[in-house]
């Protein structure tokens, strides 16, 4: 893993953080929570979204008023979201390079993947750190299925904790099983509807990605 100390010529490059996960797990909701929290800590930020054939997520974030709309770029993933974040991430790399050119002080670029399944992973050529977002309503057996996203990500986020009582999920047990299949690598719980657990995600980005004390 590398961080903001990477350089491109004389320029310091931004750290690139991927956010992937199944359709509807709350990736955009997490981005919408992370933006004000990261900006509030003085982090110079930009965002890239990937959608299959639209720029819907980018438009949603641009309209949110949370960040300068010019700092939000959209990549159209085409038929398969895996391709542009793993097999051939050229489009995303170009979009990130372009944001760095336009905003030379940018320290951190969040890259949200299009919604996919449990197999999506990010290329290390594209991201320095990536998180995978699953949600409680998808079922507490998701960690046990050991999809590559769940296993390989740097941080597993279990979102929609508020729904646990409604879908009969024992949160503590789901957390435990997620830690077990990941050999105790990081797992954090969030409720993006209420903003719970966001500080812990931001703390990890600050510490493990930006190397701030």
Ligand X SMILES: Nc1nc2c(ncn2[C@@H]2O[C@H](COP(=O)(O)OP(=O)(O)OP(=O)(O)O)[C@@H](O)[C@H]2O)c(=O)[nH]1
Could you tell me which residues are annotated as the binding site?
21-28
CB nearest ligand X: which residue?
A: 115
- Which stretch in 23-31, 90-98, 123-131, 203-211 sits in contact with ligand X by CB under 6 A? 23-31
Shortest CB 159 distance to ligand X, Å: 5
Nearest to 197 by CA among 168, 171, 166, 177: 171
Query: What is the spatial distance between Cα 151 and Cα 129, in angstroms, rounded to a whole number?
Result: 14
142 class by beta-carbon count within 10 Å (0-12 exposed, 13-18 middle, 19+ buried): buried
140 binds ligand X (CB under 6 A): no
Short-list 150, 122, 155, 128, CA closest to 50? 122
Q: Are strands 15-20 and 129-135 parallel, antiparallel or unpaired?
A: parallel
Residue choice 67, 75, 109, 192 for contact with ligand X (CB under 6 A): 192
Is 182 in contact with 22 (CB distance < 8 Å)?
no
49-88 residues near ligand X, rule: CB under 6 A: 57
Nearer to ligand X, 25 or 127 (CB): 25
Nearest distance from C-beta of residue 77 to ligand X, angstroms: 11
* Strand ranges for 22-146 from DSSP E: 45-51, 72-76, 108-112, 129-135
Binding segment for ligand X among 66-74, 120-128, 155-163, 200-208 (CB under 6 A)?
155-163
Virtual torsion, Cα 153, 123, 2, 15, nearest 10 deg: -90
Give whichever of 113 and 210 is closer to ligand X, judged by the CB atom: 113
| Contact call for residues 156 and 186 (beta carbons, < 8 A) | yes
Among 191, 201, 208, 210, binds ligand X (CB under 6 A): 191
Q: Whose Cβ is closer to ligand X: residue 104's or residue 165's?
A: 165
**Closest CB to ligand X among 13 and 29?**
29
- Is 72 or 210 the residue whose CB approaches ligand X more closely? 72
| Interacting residue ranges for ligand X, rule: CB under 6 A | 21, 23-29, 57, 115, 159-160, 162-163, 191-193
């Amino acid at each position: 893993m590398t961080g903001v100390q990477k350089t491109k010529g004389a320029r310091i490059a931004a750290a690139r953080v991927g956010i992937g996960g199944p359709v509807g797990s709350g990736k955009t909701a997490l981005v919408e929570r992370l933006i004000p929290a990261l900006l509030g800590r003085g982090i110079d930020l930009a965002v890239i979204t990937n959608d299959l054939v639209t720029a819907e997520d980018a438009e949603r974030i641009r309209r949110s008023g949370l960040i300068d709309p010019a700092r939000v770029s959209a990549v159209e993933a085409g038929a398969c979201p895996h391709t542009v974040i793993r097999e051939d991430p050229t489009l995303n790399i170009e979009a990130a390079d372009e944001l760095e050119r336009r905003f030379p002080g940018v320290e951190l670029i969040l890259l949200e993947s299009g919604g996919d399944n449990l197999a999506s992973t990010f290329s290390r050529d594209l991201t320095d750190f990536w998180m995978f977002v699953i949600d409680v309503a998808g079922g507490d057996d998701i960690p046990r299925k050991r999809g590559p996203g769940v296993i390989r990500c740097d941080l597993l986020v279990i979102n929609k904790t508020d729904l646990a009582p409604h879908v009969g999920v024992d949160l503590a047990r789901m957390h435990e099983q997620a830690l077990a299949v990941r050999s105790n690598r990081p797992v954090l719980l969030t409720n993006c509807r209420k903003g719970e657990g966001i500080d812990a995600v931001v703390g990890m980005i600050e510490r493990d990605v930006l190397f701030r004390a």
